[in-house]
Amino acid sequence: MPSNITEKITIDENENTIEINKLVKKFKNFVAVDSVDLQINKGELFGLLGPNGAGKTTTLNILATLLPPTSGDAKINGFNLKEQNKIRHSIGFVFQDSTLDDELTARENLDIHGRLYHLPKNLRKQRIDEVLDLVELKDKENRQVKTFSGGMKRRLEIARGMMHHPKILFLDEPTLGLDPQTRRNVWNHIERLNKEENLTIILTTHYLEEADYLCNRIAIIDHGKIVAIDSPDNLKKTIRSDTLVLKTNQIKDLVELLQANEISEFTVFENSVNLATDKGERIIPDLLNLASKNQVSINSVELKKSTLEDVFIHFTGHQIREDQASSADVLRNALKATGRF
């Protein structure tokens, strides 16, 4: 914990909020973060998009000084990673797993956080009122947290992360496990914080829709490496505008047929082939005729406009993996391998 939140900290407003240079984190032979370079600007709502276990949480933990890097360096608000207290004073962190005390009220949870950051009593009371208003929980301040819904708990955790006026807020999978309606409600609060507080927000997510809806820029991360970075719209423009999904029980025959006709921009899955094209509807009849003449049965054809899922597949060669162990499980297993857990 920071030693004293009242310590005077000067932040150079002209610098990038975050600068990451060749950041590496290894746990024995497991490379969790693989030579990451990244710059995040002040006021950005920036997303790290990738499957569970891709290195997103580990990257945030290094930036928050919770884990030391194996090599490389980073600056957060102008401070290098060795200036731990200064970094911790200037950031807020909402963890993937809840760390609220369910037996306490919303106000009591925030009050404890303020005390840990040595906020004076009057400032602490004022700030609790402000952050509860920000997340629209002021009328629930005296209710025990165990009576809260999942979405309310998430909003309270975001409020807690804002207690000490951070310059940067880290959100690790902020809507994990929430239903779609509650997830969108949390998105609205994240957007509001970013715009009204001019707050730099870095979030990790494996939800494609979340990254597309919220983020000014996205870094796609897979197996510890950043494979693409840009705005959601620009990322979609990097690939063909249309995708034809051809479902068949004759995958091998269809692939050979496409290759024989010098069609190479496609991705193969278990029971379908995704074909990138600029022509969309116009080439569907030709493809079906070609398949029919060569006795390849096509079960169905679906035309899709480019999405972040297509971008992810384009850059990684596979669909986003949501069924793997959580980031916390991956980190825990890596630490076990080193004998440190």
6 in a domain, yes or no?
Answer: no
Query: Where is mean pLDDT largest: 153-157, 177-181, 335-339?
Result: 153-157
Predicted pLDDT at 132 = 95
Domain count, the chain: 2
Predicted pLDDT at 322 = 52
Task: Among 172, 207, 231, give the residue marking a domain's end.
Answer: 231
264 in a domain, yes or no?
Answer: yes
Asked if residue 223 lies in contact with residue 34, where contact means CB atoms within 8 angstroms, the answer is yes
Instruction: Give percent of the chain above pLDDT 90.
Output: 72
Say whether both 248 and 127 belong to one domain.
no
40 in a domain, yes or no?
Answer: yes
267 in a domain, yes or no?
Answer: yes
> In this structure, what CATH number is given to the domain that contains residue 54?
3.40.50.300
Q: Predicted confidence band at 5 (pLDDT cuts at 50, 70, 90)?
A: very low
Q: Predicted confidence band at 323 (pLDDT cuts at 50, 70, 90)?
A: very low
- DSSP, collapsed to helix, strand or coil, labels residue 303 as strand
DSSP string of 210-251? HHHHH-SEEEEEETTEEEEEE-HHHHHHTS-SEEEEEE-S-H
pLDDT digits (tens, 9 = 90+) for 244-295: 899 999 999 999 999 999 888 889 998 899 988 877 788 899 999 999 999 9
Say whether both 57 and 180 belong to one domain.
yes
Say whether both 224 and 247 belong to one domain.
no
- Domain span at residue 152 reads 18-231
In angstroms, the CA 170 to CA 46 distance is 10
Asked if residue 65 lies in contact with residue 81, where contact means CB atoms within 8 angstroms, the answer is yes
Say whether both 176 and 93 belong to one domain.
yes
332 in a domain, yes or no?
Answer: no
Predicted pLDDT at 213 = 95
Task: Among 231, 261, 278, give the residue marking a domain's end.
Answer: 231
Q: Predicted confidence band at 197 (pLDDT cuts at 50, 70, 90)?
A: confident
> In this structure, what CATH number is given to the domain that contains residue 259?
3.30.70.270
Q: What amino acid occupies position 211?
A: A
66 in a domain, yes or no?
Answer: yes
Task: Among 209, 231, 253, give the residue marking a domain's end.
Answer: 231
Say whether both 168 and 78 belong to one domain.
yes
Predicted pLDDT at 10 = 43
Q: Predicted confidence band at 321 (pLDDT cuts at 50, 70, 90)?
A: low
Say whether both 224 and 291 belong to one domain.
no
Predicted pLDDT at 338 = 47
Say whether both 292 and 147 belong to one domain.
no
Say whether both 132 and 211 belong to one domain.
yes
Q: What amino acid occupies position 320?
A: I
Say whether both 31 and 176 belong to one domain.
yes
Instruction: Give percent of the chain above pLDDT 70.
Output: 89
pLDDT digits (tens, 9 = 90+) for 124-171: 999 999 999 989 999 999 999 999 999 999 999 999 999 999 999 999
Predicted pLDDT at 81 = 95
315 in a domain, yes or no?
Answer: no
Nearest alpha carbon to residue 220 among 63, 77, 38: 38
Say whether both 159 and 247 belong to one domain.
no
Average pLDDT over residues 9-15: 45
**Angle value at C-alpha 198, between 192 and 201, nearest 5 degrees:** 75
225 in a domain, yes or no?
Answer: yes
Say whether both 255 and 211 belong to one domain.
no
**For all residues of the chain together, what is the average pLDDT?**
88
Predicted pLDDT at 239 = 79
Say whether both 66 and 119 belong to one domain.
yes
